[in-house]
Chains A and B, each alone.
Chain A
Amino acid sequence: MLMFKNTLTRSRRYWLWIASLLFVILAGSLCYVLQLIHGLVVTGLSRDVSWGLYIAQFTFFVGIAASAVMVVLPYYLHDYQQFGRLTLLGELLAVTAVTMCILFIFVDLGQPSRIFNIVLHPQPQSVMFWDMIALGGYLLMNAVIAAVTLIAQRQHVPVPGWIKPVIILSIPWAISIHTVTAFLYSGLPGRSYWLTAILAPRFLASAFASGPALLILLCLALRKLTGFDAGREAIQKLAVIVTYALAINIFLILAEVFTAFYSEIPAHEEHFEYLFIGLNGDYRLVPWMWLSVLLSWVALALLLVPRWRANIPRLAVACAAIFISIWLDKGLGLIVGGMVPSPLGAVTRYVPTLPESTIVLGIWAVGALMITVFYKITLSIWKEN
């Protein structure tokens, strides 16, 4: 009787969660219809800041997608058995994140009905062409790997042999999706903030910190909500990976700061000044960028001490801090900071509008819905076993 009541409340909570996600998706869709009717004028974007929240979210979630390699690689190449179950959860997270990326690109287009021109008139000299191949391939690979693994587990049979080469290929492919995404920006002349050879390494380091941090948070949430335990050792190993990636990311950011400010080349200093000090009276992003710095340093301190890292509430705080910190850095500062000041030195204020933010939240809700459904199916199969 008690058990029955338990499932009932759990199920009520589950449907409440699904309903609220659907509500946010509906709100986002309505705002997108508004954008379709009036154009991108409903966003806070402008002639000078022509890319904003949409493209920044895309960049951030490519990182989340790529980070699945941090569980896939130890499990398949080093036979690290503790990551067995986490690997499937990671692959499903990758499928979700790439889907969100595609949606973010789609809502950013001025003429979405012409999207298939990318396929009809492929341009190999455009990095966007390679990004489409990289992301499309990665989505397909992870969807196939996750589906095949789940079906095999449900039928109590080993995974078919042909999937192994696909898994091995997905490892360098994961690195490629974020490298190509960095090349979208780092090859542009006249955008000093992005024109740096360590943009791709920085993207990878921040991805391998934020992605596994999110996976740890998801596992902790699963344990609380469903009782599924990913295993203490697996979580701790993931925490070590996050620690290394975060330290490397902080190092790379400091290396950028050194080059910009020791060389004192104005074009390189300006973007950092805009983000961290404020330029021409625009200080809008300054507190957020410093919050990002503060959170990443606090998280690093919490993670560096093994005793603190082993404490689950503390680990959760550190992971949340990393996720927020890297979201601020990559999902906000990176794109806007690269566009301000403009090539003509203009400092243009960019504030996302309500419809724009609602569309972004709607896509986040699509992601949350996908991950909820995927994990529910997975856990029910594991429970049966």
Chain B
Amino acid sequence: MKITRKDFLRLSGLGLLALAGRKAVRALSGWSFAQTSASAAKPIRWGMAFDLGKCRHKDGCNRCIQACHSTHNVPQFADRAHEIKWIWKEPFQNVFPAAQTDYTRDFYGSLPVLLACNHCDDPPCQDVCPVDATWRRDDGVVTIDFHRCIGCRYCMAACPYGSRSFNWQDPRPAIATVNPDFPTRTKGVVEKCNFCEERLAKGQGPACAESCEEKAIVFGDLEQPDSELRQLLRSRFAVQRKPELGTGPSVYYIV
């Protein structure tokens, strides 16, 4: 009995410490955010919507994927096991397994749906990273420090959306033309969609949204009630992937 009680105390102490640490980190980041944005009128939270109806207009269109992958020096590996992808397509039934019925699967089940990082409000990948190599910025972008990542792949296990890729080998030989404005990666680090943070810094929108002729990708500030994105989310029915997990995705799907 003595041991059980002692263990319980130790473990609850450990849990409390972890919780306190997390709260402290949150409070501190909140505090620094308040400091830096004191001058700004409103905080920004970047978000995105994929209009699936519009996306299907042109069969087999991959412009957004090509635009993203060439902008970000994403290597092209033929072998599925080792591929790196920032934005890609999957059949509807894999992306929204719960949104299927036996009678809709025939038609909707195999329709392609775009996927990328969800840039969660409370990202599990950030919580698990042991070296602070991935974090949610104040504007909602979940980003990665390629120079700090130790390649433990804990974030890949934690991401419930399968959004993260790992460089199983040197990616550089598999990049057709290197874009000198964006870093290439080394083997042994994790990468994913960064909401084009490098373009946002220059006042530009994401490359995928810009490349889409059908305007099926809408990017904007979720905190701005009159932004194009918010107007779209007000007027059309939209869903998030796995909202029941409480991660708070910033990517919406107009179905």
The minimal Cβ–Cβ distance linking B250 to chain A, given in whole angstroms, is 16
B158 touches A128 (CB 8 A): no
A-B contact count (CB 8 A): 173
List the B side residues contacting A344 at CB < 8 Å: 90, 94-95, 115, 161-162
Q: How many residues of B contact A (CB 8 A)?
A: 60
Cα A45 to Cα B152 with chains together (Å): 13
The answer for the CA separation of A38 and B171 in the assembled complex, in Å, is 11
Known A109-B150, A111-B150, A118-B150: A124·B21 in contact at CB below 8 Å: yes
Asked if B236 is an interface residue, CB under 8 A from chain A, the answer is no
For residue B3, which residues in chain A have a CB less than 8 angstroms away from its CB?
73, 77, 171-172
Complex: A175 Cα to B9 Cα, angstroms: 12
Contact between chains at A126 and B188 (CB < 8 Å)? no
B38 contacts chain A at the CB level, 8 A cutoff? no
B-facing residues in A92-120 (Cβ within 8 Å): 105, 108-112, 114-115, 117-118, 120
Given contacts A39-B187, A46-B82, contact A172 B160 (CB under 8 A): no
Interface 1/0s, chain A 341-369, versus B by CB < 8 A? Answer: 01111101000000000000000000000
Contact of B130 with A40 in the complex, beta carbons under 8 Å: no
Tell me whether B14 is interfacial, beta carbon within 8 Å: yes
Residues of A within 8 A of B129 (CB): 123, 126
A73 neighbours in B (Cβ, 8 Å): 3
Whether B7 lies near A110 (C-beta < 8 A) is: no
A46 touches B81 (CB 8 A): yes
- Distance (Å) between the CB of B236 and the closest chain A CB? 25
> A190: CB under 8 A from chain B?
yes
Instruction: State whether B21 touches A125 (Cβ < 8 A).
Output: yes
Interface residue A297 (Cβ < 8 Å from any Cβ of B): no
Task: Assess A38 versus B124: contact at CB under 8 Å? Given A110-B150, A123-B131.
Answer: no
Cα–Cα distance between A276 and B152 once the two chains are bound (Å): 29
Q: Taking beta carbons and an 8 Å cutoff, which residues of B are in contact with A?
A: 2-3, 6-7, 10-11, 14, 17-18, 21-22, 24-25, 80-83, 90, 93-95, 97, 115, 124, 127-133, 148-154, 156-162, 165-170, 186-190, 242, 245-247
What are 28 pairs between A and B in contact, CB < 8 Å?
A38-B169, A39-B169, A39-B170, A39-B188, A40-B166, A41-B82, A41-B168, A46-B80, A47-B162, A47-B165, A48-B81, A50-B166, A51-B153, A51-B157, A77-B3, A109-B188, A114-B151, A117-B130, A118-B131, A121-B131, A121-B132, A125-B21, A129-B130, A175-B10, A179-B11, A188-B157, A339-B157, A343-B159
